[in-house]
Amino acid sequence: MNALLETLEPKSIWSYFLELSKIPRGSKHEAAAAAWVADQAKALGCEVERDEVGNVIIRKKATPGKEGHPTVCLQAHVDMVCEKNEGTDHDFTRDAIQVWKDGDLLRAKGTTLGADNGIGVGAALAVLASKDIAHGPIEVLITIDEETGLTGANGLQPGRLKAKFLLNLDSEEEGFLTIGCAGGVDTIATRKLTRTAPPAGSRAYRLKVFGLKGGHSGIDIPSGRGNAIRLLAQVLGALKPGFGLALASIKGGNKRNAIPREASAMIFLDPAKEQAFREVLVGHEAHWRAALGAFDPGLHLALEPAEATQAMTAADADALIHLLMSLPHGVEAMSPDIKGLVQTSTNLGVIDTREDMVEVNLLTRSSVDASKVALSERIAATCALGGFESHTTGGYPGWKPEPEASLVRIVNDANQSVFGKPLEIMAIHAGLECGLIGEKYAGMEMVSFGPSMWDVHTPDEHVSVPSVGNFWKLLVAVLEAV
């Protein structure tokens, strides 16, 4: 037996999770992992099919005596966000996640862990493998490409599922029951670039922003954490005029749904001004560290030699820097109805510079569709003023809370029975697949719950081992109560 698995309970979930962690499964590259899930279910004697977009749909018969009970669908996504620390030698298309135990926590070495949503997948497979849970008919829906486009849920066709109830296993806080979520839309802004020779006598350098926490662009957006792209633009905007900088490129962030932890700019600088630039940079680091305070204390700015041969024109560089300083990032509005819930936000998530073009990606979320549309239109107007073209893509609906639904009562009563207390009922400022699935299955009741995990979408992602045990107890109790 795997030495790590010997220290983990319940083994029924962890054994599947650890095996899944060996299979590369970044979003849009999760085909092998989805096939592995299908193979596990077939080996357990379940009915298995793959739909048009690659989702895995599994059916397990009811245990004797519960054939007439309502069908329950367990739903999770097989893909994961692939983030790693600078300097970590890891190829997400080839290498296994290096999982390790830190007391009561499970972490990965320098990368995202994939507990989001590998724990949900592991739990669903553990239910299929169980022989001692008294349950009605079960469906399992394992979707693909949740993290970068909700492609699996979006491509699910009406009529595929028969379940009355759906348990989404993609929540991240024990003791809470999620019954609603925000919708979202992506904005992609682009500008064609003209290249020119750098200033005579200048040298190429890389200006880096790093050490920030990053985080989930929905759950962590109100946390006050720094955005590396925005901070880099602020520094460039302040230093470019006085030092006569020429800009070759800006690159930052990896996923539009992760707050950027790192960003860098390739610049040309007169080497005679390098020492003065470094001294001023120290002051800017202190300034922004003070601004971020305890919200994000690890900020660092650095300058290092680099290689580059061409710069952008001054007009292109100014337009890009000013756009990055002007685009919204963070909380736009709080909910007037639910205390502490972010209603509308935007994440300035990714920037990439190619030879002839620069591209900026943003993700706007809102639980109010009109607010989502209005903010995305304002982003488009800002882009147009800066000389950028933009378009929206990947829009998905929110999930309207139904606190009086019978499934909410069933799950809450099960938690009361197992743990002696009710769950906290909430909606979240993040995208869950329930909104898209609910559009296709209007009569289906849905809730979402899961174990406690933190810093998802970052290399600091970690999950509570005892919380996974409690999550399993609740899941079993719900299945037996339906």
pLDDT digits (tens, 9 = 90+) for 194-243: 999 999 999 999 999 999 999 999 989 999 999 999 999 999 999 999 99
Which residue among 331, 366, 396 closes a domain?
Answer: 396
Res 86: pLDDT? 83
Q: State how many domains the chain has.
A: 2
Residues 150 and 209 grouped into a single domain: no
165 and 196 part of one domain: no
Q: Are residues 217 and 104 in the same domain?
A: no
Model confidence over 22-55: pLDDT tens digits? 999 999 999 999 999 999 999 999 999 999 999 9
> What confidence score (pLDDT) does residue 395 get?
86
Here the tokens at position 149 are 């486009």
Question: Same domain for 415 and 305?
Answer: no
Task: Choose among 137, 126, 156, 165: nearest CA to 41.
Answer: 126
**Which residue is it, tokens 């024990």?**
174
Residues 360 and 470 in one domain: no
Regions in the chain scoring below 70 on pLDDT: 1
**CB-CB neighbours of 215 under 10 Å:** 24
> Are 124 and 27 part of one and the same domain?
yes
Please give the residue range of the domain that contains residue 83: 5-182+398-481
Q: Which two tokens stand for residue 74?
A: 């367990």
Cα-atom radius of gyration of the chain, to the nearest Å? Answer: 24
**pLDDT for the residue numbered 445:** 97
Query: Do 322 and 438 belong together in one domain?
Result: no
Q: What distance in Å separates the CA atoms of residue 245 and residue 243, rounded to the nearest whole number?
A: 5
Residues 231, 89 share a domain: no
Q: Which pLDDT score, from 0 to 100, does residue 400 have?
A: 86
pLDDT of residue 466: 98
Catalytic residue (one of 30, 79, 186, 296): 79
The answer to whether residue 146 is catalytic is yes
Q: Active site residue: 83, 116, 145, 146, which one?
A: 146
Please indicate, yes or no, whether residues 138 and 283 belong to a single structural domain of this protein.
no
Q: Which residues contact 179 (CB under 8 A, 6 or more apart)?
A: 399, 401, 402, 403, 405, 408, 425, 426, 427, 446, 447, 448
Q: Does residue 76 sit in the same domain as residue 199?
A: no
Max CA separation in the chain (angstroms): 84
Please identify, among 351, 379, 396, the residue that sits at the C-terminal boundary of a domain.
Answer: 396
For residue 389, indicate whether it is catalytic. Answer: no
Amino acid, res. 480: E
43 and 165, same domain (yes or no): yes
Residue (of 337, 367, 360) closest to 431 by Cα position:
367
280 and 318, same domain (yes or no) = yes
